[in-house]
Structure 1
Amino acid sequence: MPEPQVYVIHENSEWLPPIAAALDAEGVPWSPWLLDGGGIDLTTAPPPGVFWSRMSASAHTRGHTAAVEQARGVLSWLEAHGRRVVNGRRVLELELSKVDQLVALQAAGIDVPRTVAVSGNEALLAAAAEFPTPFLTKHNRGGKGLGVARYDSVDELAVALKDPYLDVPVDGITLLQEYLPPAGGVITRVEIVGGEFLYALTADVVRGGFQLCPADACAVDGSDDASLFAQRENFDDPIVGRYLDFAGSAGIEVAGIEFLETSDGRKVTYDINTNTNYNPDVEAAAPRSGPKAAAKFLSRLFNQTDTARTDTATATTDGTAR
């Protein structure tokens, strides 16, 4: 059997370098596990180690539509064999479905936007006719803000739906959602690793629109040199504790949770990113490094897992356990 290590399960190598550098610096043995074809023998046991799922909801936008289904199978296989998985099978479903996210957040008593989930353009137009304007549409399985659009009328939406080049949701589900202008023109993203709050960052929606993935690989073409992202200094709000409680109960161990503040004081949570990416500009100013925190968390888990494996092997050898 191979020696234990940390496996980083992913489908997008462009997002890997910050994590790779942090894991190398931490000195933990690790390997990337790229879900781009290949297979698993279900009659065998997985290799020993710790497995971190970084599967992204936007995989289909990079031509990796099958990677999502592959990830479902891999995570089920790992968990069936008792492997330690960070952001496991249940968390993957939250990553892949905004409906799932909003339902879970509401159940936890966290304020979310009014949302109707519909299938098909006819149903979408019918729902929009009963919805206050302006409103947003977005894909249930999105990522990077792709497919998000604001409409000021049902007629405007009807015209847009006739565009043959309009992006359609990969899972067939469109969300109709209330439009809430964020106070100050920014949204806030709360970074969590291993049950701890790292920091909060803001994203400029005036310049960035809805494409607010905070990674170099997500840079919006045509944007100016000034970063859309900044650390939100001295952020101390009760919503952090609520997010930590929510993440703990949902099994989410690495995440960036996004909310906006309205002019009338609401804090409305609208997105859970269980595949957190870290912006280098924010990293340079933040009190704690996201990749370093993730690497230390994985190293801790790895050492615990490897120690348990060694203890079991020793006990078996000296005859005290079978």
Structure 2
Amino acid sequence: MAARLDMGEAVTPDLAILYEHPLWFEPLFAALDRRSVPYRAIRLTDHSFDPADKSVPAPVVLSRVAQSGFLREPEHGIFYAQSLLAHWRANGATVLNGPEILAVDSSKARQLSLIAGLGLAIPETRVVHRREEILAAADGMAFPLLLKANVGGSGAGIVRYDDRAALAEAVAERFLPESVDRVLLVQDYVPAEGGRIIRLETLGGRFLYAIEVETGGSFDLCPADACVAAPGRETVRMAAVDPGPELVEAAERIAQGMALDVGGIEVVIDARDGVPRFYDINALSNFVANPLDVLGWDPHERLVDFLEAAITEAKR
């Protein structure tokens, strides 16, 4: 039985889902429908709010805001959503992956600072906000180097430079990646052991599953259905993997350290020295494509369990 409510319906459901991408969350919506959980799907694109309005769309709100939204819409809602989620929380809603999570999700610099603060290894990185500081930041760093946009998604805003001359030319010609917040990361290019990275998904601060994803030289490693099926996109090879207790414990420390409700932690095993270097936190966590084939079970069912528990708690 369908449980999704239209925006025009006056009934307040148990759950609201704030989202941007039109396709990524159909598997979640389908799981909610199967379980007959009433919910309202709120599209971020055409949303506005009144700061004096104290109503909330539901007792529990789940944020599914994509950092790659700026690729699809110049007038994206990434930073707008932080204000909206904070407003709903202030007026009594339980907000999962709330504004403070979104703030970290939208800053690779903050992610790396959090990870390093936990004593975990990260790629050598310098953070800058002016073009003129890029070459100075690269002093003493080995090439190849990456320039990364601080706000990124789907591999956007990442460029590799194989030597200092190539980087200097890009700086001089102003042919550089851009970040919507004007912050860039100068980062060591870590060669991935076996040409693979590991993505560890967490739910409620606990390990959920892990997959290995072949890089194929690409920085766009999104594993979800809509990504895998995107026109012109090369096939991303992925497989379930047992990451071992050390990586599981590290991923849980990261998730718990930022109070992440649901999200993925990405790590690359450095082929030069075997050190696991954590480099990205993805609070969107739209889960792996074809989960029954890859994992043997559907993580959306676990997410619905988590949401139902949050709804029960919010009603007490």
Q: Say whether the fold is shared (TM-score over 0.5).
A: yes
Aligned match of 1:173:
183
Aligned match of 2:283:
274
Deviation by residue 1:71-123 (Cα, 9 ceiling, x = unmatched): 01111111212311111111001110001101111111121111101122221
2:89 & 2:27 partners in 1: Cα distance? Answer: 27
Deviation by residue 1:2-55 (Cα, 9 ceiling, x = unmatched): 434211111111212111111112221111111113322222222442100111
Residue 294 of structure 2 aligns with an amino acid whose one-letter code is A
1:162 & 1:12 partners in 2: Cα distance? Answer: 36
2:258 to 247, 250, 256: 250
Aligned length: 304
Aligned match of 2:103:
93
1:65 & 1:208 partners in 2: Cα distance? Answer: 30
> Is structure 2 residue 28 aligned with structure 1 residue 19?
yes
Offset of 1:199 from its aligned partner? Answer: 1.0
Q: Which moved more, 1:40-49 or 1:79-88?
A: 40-49
1:118 & 1:280 partners in 2: Cα distance? Answer: 35
Aligned match of 2:206:
196
Aligned match of 1:319:
none
Check the 8 A contact 1:129/1:154 in 2, yes or no.
no
Identify if the C-alpha distance between structure 1 residues 36 and 261 changes in structure 2 by more than 3 Å, giving closer, same or farther: same
2:218 & 2:258 partners in 1: Cα distance? Answer: 29
Offset of 1:129 from its aligned partner? Answer: 3.9
1:54 & 1:82 partners in 2: Cα distance? Answer: 19
2:307 & 2:202 partners in 1: Cα distance? Answer: 14
Check the 8 A contact 1:14/1:217 in 2, yes or no.
yes
Aligned match of 2:196:
186
Offset of 1:249 from its aligned partner? Answer: 3.1
> Is structure 2 residue 268 aligned with structure 1 residue 260?
yes
Aligned match of 2:3:
none
Aligned match of 2:312:
303
Match of 1:13, SS state, is coil
Deviation by residue 1:129-154 (Cα, 9 ceiling, x = unmatched): 44211111110000111111221112
Match of 1:144, SS state, is coil
> Is structure 2 residue 82 aligned with structure 1 residue 72?
yes
Residue 210 of structure 2 aligns with an amino acid whose one-letter code is A
1:158 to 168, 180, 184: 168
Q: Which moved more, 1:191-200 or 1:157-166?
A: 157-166
Q: Over aligned residue pairs, what C-alpha RMSD do you find?
A: 2.1
Aligned match of 1:28:
37
Check the 8 A contact 1:231/1:285 in 2, yes or no.
yes
Which of structures 1 and 2 has the bigger CA Rg? 1
Identify if the C-alpha distance between structure 1 residues 38 and 222 changes in structure 2 by more than 3 Å, giving closer, same or farther: closer
2:297 & 2:18 partners in 1: Cα distance? Answer: 24
Check the 8 A contact 1:10/1:34 in 2, yes or no.
yes
Tell me which of the two structures has the higher relative contact order, counting C-alpha pairs closer than 8 angstroms and 6 or more residues apart: 1
Match of 1:280, SS state, is coil
Deviation by residue 1:261-297 (Cα, 9 ceiling, x = unmatched): 1232201000000001222234423144222211221
Check the 8 A contact 1:194/1:294 in 2, yes or no.
no
Q: TM-score, normalised by structure 1?
A: 0.87
Check the 8 A contact 2:16/2:58 in 1, yes or no.
no
Aligned match of 1:313:
none
1:107 to 117, 128, 131: 117
Q: Which moved more, 1:267-276 or 1:208-217?
A: 208-217
The answer for unaligned runs of 5 or more in structure 1 is 309-322
2:173 & 2:25 partners in 1: Cα distance? Answer: 35
1:152 & 1:67 partners in 2: Cα distance? Answer: 35
